């Protein structure tokens, strides 16, 4: 029988849950109990979350962890990280501590320019279109003053508008390629509102432009939208120290380590299969802080991976060198982030995360997030090129396995102690718990 339903969005939350549990679950009561268990007792807080999206039935938790001991441009930070993967926060904290004893992280914002485009079709004389654009360009600025007024007061606005001829790629295809400064906001709403206004102006002006023939006057706007590819909204983070100082309590040989580390980075620079995983590790750090600070991680992901392919081949976002005995490891990433607007003043935990970071400007947040990515990458490459990744990863995953096995607190404590000296694997933990339970019986 079809599960199609009309007017679902108009139902109350209770009705939605009732319908859903009856239609999709073998045990509707159990499903309903679970959904309700995740509701917040504070009705106002729950309503706030319900209203973030449509058709909310419950909350979906992610742990919010913190990684302390970050020093960024001489200032101490504890980073909020919202992420489900066991070892990520521990790895960030470890890298932070390691580098805090070696001068910390340095970060610089290279540029903060955002991009939006009006995509349109024009079948006619390109020279006339160029002339038309030159004559009406000022209208795009004056016709958006109501939208740009506040942004201008904050130091932002429309930076430039270009007419781009793309007709060699698609016949008749042109763009209004526009650059924006959106200061502390991510700027999606601001940019899209400006672009939609441009689109109106473009169509209206074309209709009354006397040099256009009838076909040229019917210029057709296909769409107006910001681009999440922001290669000029760029931040760099780096760490460096004399190679000799790369040793730590794990007793690694610093020179050997530095050379192996460099080779691991070179492999990610040249081999796309490795680069994707290498960059995924970077995104473990980036996304966790991006989510905790209420930013759009899908936009960040899309933009970052496009940037990783900017030279025509997917490659590493981070790089490393050894010059005159100095090891340097750095990353350059495009990050369009906001610390005002969006969820930033709405989600209580986002507000808390931003306060934990000292209520940063968007530029500062770009630096912090880039550092989180670099720290994560350092921790991953350090493990990969020395002990292997599984040792640390499985240690952190131990608790998940114990929870899967329904271990009690006392069983957990015994297992944690035991696996300090033994390799963690699903089978080994299973066996250990079974043995414990046999002894008890
Ligand atoms: C796992 O989430 C991330 C790593 O695979 C990253 C890497 O391989 O560099 C460990």
Q: Which atom of ligand 1 is nearest to the CA of 87?
A: 2
Annotated catalytic residue 393: yes
Whole-number Å distance, alpha carbon 67 to ligand 1 midpoint, is 18
Q: Which one of 296, 347, 364, 397 is the catalytic residue?
A: 296
Tell me the pLDDT band of 50, cut-offs 50, 70 and 90: very high
Q: How far is CA 202 from the centre of its chain?
A: 34
pLDDT at residue 440 tops 90: no
Whole-number Å distance, alpha carbon 69 to ligand 1 midpoint, is 22
* Structure token digits, residue 194: 């400006």
Q: Which one of 166, 217, 255, 280 is the catalytic residue?
A: 280
Domain range list for the chain: 8-50, 64-108+232-387, 114-227, 393-440
Per-residue pLDDT of 266-314, as tens digits, reads 999 999 999 999 999 999 999 999 999 999 999 999 999 999 999 999 9
Whole-number Å distance, alpha carbon 280 to ligand 1 midpoint, is 6
Burial 108-134 (b: 16+ CB within 10 A, else e): ebeebbbbbbbbbebebeeeebeebbe
pLDDT at residue 252 tops 70: yes
> Which pLDDT value is given to residue 313?
98
Task: Say if ligand 1 is within 6 A of residue 429 CB.
Answer: no
Residues sharing a CB contact under 8 Å with residue 176, sequence separation 6 or more, in sequence order:
117, 118, 120, 140, 161, 162, 163, 164, 195, 198, 202
Q: Which fold has domain 64-108+232-387?
A: 3.90.770
The mean pLDDT of 228-241, rounded to a whole number, is 98
Q: Which atom of ligand 1 is nearest to the CA of 284?
A: 2
Q: Cα–Cα distance between 358 and 257 in angstroms, integer?
A: 35
Per-residue pLDDT of 328-373, as tens digits, reads 999 999 999 999 998 898 999 999 999 999 999 999 999 999 999 9
pLDDT at residue 250 tops 70: no
**Beta sheet of 220-227, edge-to-edge order:** 157-165, 173-181, 113-121, 220-227
Per-residue pLDDT of 365-397, as tens digits, reads 999 999 999 999 999 999 999 988 777 777 778
Confirm if 194 and 144 have CB atoms less than 8 A apart: yes
* Alpha carbon nearest to ligand 1 atom 1, residue: 281
Task: Say if ligand 1 is within 6 A of residue 274 CB.
Answer: no
Task: Say if ligand 1 is within 6 A of residue 317 CB.
Answer: no
Confirm if 261 and 308 have CB atoms less than 8 A apart: no
> Which pLDDT value is given to residue 191?
98
* Alpha carbon nearest to ligand 1 atom 10, residue: 380
**Closest among 100, 91, 35, 37 to 65, alpha carbons compared:** 91
Annotated catalytic residue 280: yes
* Alpha carbon nearest to ligand 1 atom 9, residue: 278
Choose one of 278, 376, 395 to mutate for the ligand 1 pocket test, by most ligand atoms within 8 angstroms of C-beta: 278
Confirm if 72 and 99 have CB atoms less than 8 A apart: no
Q: Which atom of ligand 1 is nearest to the CA of 383?
A: 10
Task: Say if ligand 1 is within 6 A of residue 389 CB.
Answer: yes
Quote the mean pLDDT of the chain.
96
Q: Is the pTM of this model over 0.75?
A: yes
Annotated catalytic residue 296: yes
* Alpha carbon nearest to ligand 1 atom 7, residue: 278
Tell me the pLDDT band of 249, cut-offs 50, 70 and 90: low
Q: Cα–Cα distance between 437 and 431 in angstroms, integer?
A: 10
Q: Burial of 369 by CB count in 10 Å (0-12 exposed, 13-18 middle, 19+ buried)?
A: buried
Task: Give the phi and the psi of residue 368 in degrees, each rounded to 5.
Answer: -65, -45
Whether domain 114-227 has CATH 3.30.70.420: the reply is yes
Task: Say if ligand 1 is within 6 A of residue 284 CB.
Answer: yes
> Which pLDDT value is given to residue 390?
75
Q: Which atom of ligand 1 is nearest to the CA of 88?
A: 2
């Amino acid at each position: 029988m079809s599960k199609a339903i009309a007017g679902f969005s108009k139902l109350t939350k209770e009705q939605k849950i009732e319908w859903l549990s009856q239609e999709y679950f073998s045990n509707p009561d159990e499903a309903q109990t679970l959904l309700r268990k995740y509701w917040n007792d504070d009705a106002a807080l729950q309503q706030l979350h319900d209203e973030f999206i449509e058709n909310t039935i419950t909350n979906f938790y992610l742990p919010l962890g913190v990684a302390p001991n970050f020093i960024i441009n001489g200032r101490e930070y504890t980073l909020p990280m919202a992420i489900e993967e066991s070892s990520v926060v521990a790895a960030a904290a470890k890298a932070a501590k390691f580098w805090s004893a070696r001068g910390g992280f340095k970060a610089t914002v290279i540029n903060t320019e955002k991009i939006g485009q009006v995509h349109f079709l024009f079948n006619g004389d390109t020279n006339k279109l160029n002339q038309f654009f030159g004559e009406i360009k000022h209208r795009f600025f004056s016709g958006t003053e109501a939208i740009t007024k506040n942004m201008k007061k904050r130091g932002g606005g429309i930076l430039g508008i270009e007419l781009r001829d793309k007709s060699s790629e698609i016949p008749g295809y042109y763009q209004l390629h526009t650059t924006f400064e959106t200061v502390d906001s991510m700027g999606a709403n601001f940019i899209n509102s400006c672009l939609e206004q441009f689109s109106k102006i473009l169509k209206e002006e074309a209709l009354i432009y006397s040099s256009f023939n009838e076909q040229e006057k019917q210029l057709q706007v296909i769409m107006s939208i910001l681009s999440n590819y922001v290669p000029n909204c760029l931040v760099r983070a780096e760490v460096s120290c004399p190679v000799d100082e790369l040793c730590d309590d794990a007793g690694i040989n610093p020179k050997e380590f530095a050379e192996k580390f460099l080779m691991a980075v070179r492999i990610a620079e040249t081999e796309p299969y490795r680069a994707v995983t290498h960059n995924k590790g970077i995104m473990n750090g980036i996304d966790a802080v991006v989510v905790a600070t209420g930013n759009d991680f899908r936009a960040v992901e899309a933009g970052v991976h496009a940037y990783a392919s900017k030279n025509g081949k997917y490659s590493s976002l981070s790089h490393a060198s050894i010059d005159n005995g100095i090891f340097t490891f750095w990353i350059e990433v495009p990050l369009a982030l906001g610390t005002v607007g969006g969820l930033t003043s709405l989600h209580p935990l986002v507000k808390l995360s931003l306060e934990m970071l000292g209520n940063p400007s968007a530029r500062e947040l770009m630096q912090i997030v880039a550092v989180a990515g670099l720290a994560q990458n350092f921790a991953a490459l350090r493990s990969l090129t020395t002990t292997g990744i599984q040792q640390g990863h499985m240690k952190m995953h131990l608790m998940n396995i114990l929870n899967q096995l329904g271990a009690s607190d006392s069983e957990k404590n015994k297992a944690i102690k035991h696996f300090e000296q033994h390799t963690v694997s699903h089978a080994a933990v299973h066996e250990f718990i079974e043995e414990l339970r046999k002894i008890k019986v």
